Amino acid sequence: MNPMARGNRVRSERAEAAEIYASCACFNLRRTTRAITQFYDLALRPAHIRITQFSLLTLISGLGPVSIGRLADVGGMDHTTLVRNLRLLEHDGLVRSARGRDARVREIRLSERGRRTLAIAIPLWKRAQQRFAGKLGAARFRRLLDDLSASSTAAATA
């Protein structure tokens, strides 16, 4: 291939790649998720937890003793990833697991340490949430949450 044709091919490949990363919903969501995760992780640092841990602790707190299956469904999480994250929370003493009323089902609940950690983390999260919403503006923030919900539904039914 002559140098001019090679240069045109490279420019064409670069243009195509630029179009893909500019328009790809998954790429842009993942990039945004990383930035927002870093923002919330920094805000929650004084509580010694990350936003992923906060999210799970909050779900467990809100659902009460909950089976892993129900927690995965409500949280929209993969069962294997959820179990791995729950093991870490249990190792850190933030949650406890025990047999439920149905002996075949394990139930997850907050430990006392998990409750204390959440009590420290919630005001930190609220401040971060207000800061983030303030940066976007109230209407745009509500639209973002609505759009994320619609996107999740669309992906699940596509």
| Tens-digit pLDDT profile for residues 41-76 | 999 999 999 999 999 999 999 998 999 999 999 998
Q: Which two tokens stand for residue 62?
A: 């809100």
Domain extent at residue 94: 3-157
Q: What is the reported pLDDT for 9?
A: 64
Tell me the β-bridge partners of 106: 99
| Closest C-alpha to 124, from 53, 42, 36, 57 | 42
| 29, 31, 32, 40, 141 from 35: Cα distances, Å | 10, 6, 5, 9, 16
6-34: pLDDT as tens digits: 666 666 788 888 888 888 999 999 999 99
Residues 6+ apart with CB under 8 A from 67: 100, 105, 106, 107, 108
Residue 64 DSSP class: -
Number of domains, the chain: 1
| 4, 36, 86 from 58: Cα distances, Å | 59, 18, 13
| Closest C-alpha to 122, from 64, 67, 55 | 55
Q: Which two tokens stand for residue 42?
A: 């920094």
Cβ proximity of 57 and 110 under 8 Å: yes
With tokens 């919630």, the residue in question is: 122
pTM across the whole model: 0.85
Which CATH number covers residue 84?
A: 1.10.10.10
